[in-house]
Amino acid sequence: MVHRSHHDMGGLDAGPVDLDEHAHVHWEKRTDAIMRLVSDKNRQIITVDELRRGIEQIGPNVYDEMSYYERWITSVTNNLLEKGTITVDELGRKMNDVEARWQADGATKA
C-alpha cells in the first residue's frame, strides 16, 4: 500500500463544491508576484517544485485550515529562509516593523 500524503486527495470523498469566489486581495497578489519574481529565469531562487514541496510539507491539519495564499507565503518564506536569502531574525524584525507601522496608521490592510 502506497502512503498517500494529505495533499494527494484525488478520488477521496468530500462535501459539495462551494461555488463562492472571492476577489483576490492585495497581499495575495503580492505573494503571487513575489513567487513569480524569485522563480523567474534571471533569479531562479525558488523553483515551482520547491514551492510545491514547501506546501506539501505543511502539516495535514494546518494545510486544511490555511487559505491558498497562506500556504504559498508560508512555503515561499520557508524556502527563502532555507536558502539564506533572508534570515529568521530579519524576518521577525521586519514583521514587527510592519505591524507597528500598520497599527500606527490605523489602516485596514487587505
Task: Give the footprint of another protein on residues 19-58 (CB under 8 A).
Answer: 19-22, 24-34, 36-38, 43, 45, 48-49, 52, 55, 57-58
Report whether 51 contacts 32 (CB < 8 A): no
7 binds another protein (CB under 8 A): yes
Across 1-110, where does the E strand assignment appear? Answer: none
Minimum distance of another protein from residue 42's CB (angstroms):
10
Neighbours of 3 (CB within 10 A): 5
Contact 77, 35 (CB under 8 A): no
- Give min distance, CB of 36 to another protein, in A: 6
- Return the residue of 1, 2, 13, 104 that touches another protein, per CB under 8 A: 13
Q: What's the rounded Cα separation, in Å, for the pair 59 and 65?
A: 10
Least separation, in Å, of the C-beta of 92 and another protein? 3
